């Protein structure tokens, strides 16, 4: 869990308390500061949730990449001739598509 989430939650609660105290005391400045703290706490909590979601997504992508690597490695170990033939075919295809015939000469 990102450290911004609990800090944002605490700041949000503190802002609510500050707003309530300002309301009871009739202090408009304290009420406004409480609202500002609530908004800042909510934004900080949302940022923490976003960071957590990004970290989870990155971990899932990493896990899938590792699984794909393991699958490919097992395939190559179990079928070395097939893997070599596929690699040769891909290499020839890349070489064929990358080769550009020379431009015809124009004499006019």
pLDDT of residue 17: 84
* pLDDT tier at 24, thresholds 50, 70, 90: confident
Q: How many helices (H) and strands (E) does the chain have?
A: 3, 0
Q: What percent of the chain has pLDDT over 90?
A: 43
pLDDT of residue 7: 81
pLDDT of residue 50: 92
Which residues, 6 or more positions from 8, have their beta carbon under 8 angstroms from its beta carbon? 40, 41, 42, 43, 44, 45, 46, 47, 48
pLDDT of residue 35: 86
pLDDT of residue 70: 96
Q: What percent of the chain has pLDDT over 70?
A: 97
* Segment 52-99, tens digit of pLDDT: 999 999 999 999 999 999 999 999 999 999 999 999 999 999 998 888
Start-to-end CA distance of the chain, whole Å, equals 72
| Sequence spans of domains, the chain | 4-98
């Amino acid at each position: 869990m990102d450290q911004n989430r609990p800090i944002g939650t605490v700041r949000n609660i503190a802002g609510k308390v500050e707003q309530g105290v300002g309301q009871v005391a009739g202090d408009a400045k304290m009420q406004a500061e409480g609202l500002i703290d609530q908004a800042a706490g909510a934004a900080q909590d949302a940022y923490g949730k976003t960071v957590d979601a990004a970290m989870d997504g990155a971990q899932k992508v990493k896990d899938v990449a590792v699984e794909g690597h393991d699958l490919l490695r097992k395939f190559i170990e179990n079928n070395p001739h097939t893997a070599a033939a596929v690699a040769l075919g891909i290499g020839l295809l890349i070489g064929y598509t990358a080769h550009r015939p020379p431009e015809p000469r124009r004499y006019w």
